[in-house]
Amino acid sequence: MNENLFASFATPTMMGLPIVILIILFPSILFPSPDRLINNRLTSIQQWLIQLTSKQMLSIHNHKGQTWALMLISLILFIGSTNLLGLLPHSFTPTTQLSMNLGMAIPLWAGTVITGFRHKTKASLAHFLPQGTPLPLIPMLVIIETISLFIQPMALAVRLTANITAGHLLIHLIGGATLALMDISTATAFITFTILILLTILEFAVALIQAYVFTLLVSLYLHDNT
């Protein structure tokens, strides 16, 4: 049971070779570059959503922070598309892997912190020691603020991994229960199947919300350092 339950989280292989790189590159096919004077409806909707998201996310940034616009938009599109593709049957979701999420979170977090220390050195150092701190508490607060700073990328990665993994496990468990109940009680199986449909709709929303939350937190870290 445990092997079947977590089999969907194992890295897929073909002829003994991992194909996770191909899976990660696949979402880029879903967002073609417009090469026509008049775009079709799908491309127009994509561009409208991208403009709406970028306008909302970058409204709090100054000119230096807005230079990260392409990075932030690419990040939310990548995470959102991989989360949605992972909801398809017999598919693999890269964002359920903590190592991959850390690979996204740590460089982005480090970039924002380095930007802050480079352009706002005094303000960045001031975060480690709030104004008006009593003298005996200074060493403890510096340690606490340092730990909270270094735990930010871990929190980003764990939040995304936990939410996506929990949703997939629930869908798997309720789907298995529905199949088991079909031979026992048709009415109960229909109820669990209805719950499964509602949960799947919820997971579509969670997939997009988690992509937005991950990118928004990176944007807030950038805002604090620019």
The DSSP result for 157-184, as a single string, is: HHHHHHHHHHHHHHHHHHHHHHHHHTTT
Direct distance between the N- and C-terminal alpha carbons of the chain, in angstroms, rounded to an integer: 50
Whether pLDDT at 2 is above 50: no
Question: What does the pLDDT look like over 145-190, one tens digit per residue?
Answer: 888 888 989 999 999 999 988 888 888 888 888 888 888 888 888 8
d(CA 117, CA 134): 25
62-106: per-residue pLDDT in tens?
878 788 888 888 888 888 888 888 888 777 788 888 888 898 899
**CA 39 – CA 56 distance, rounded (Å):** 24
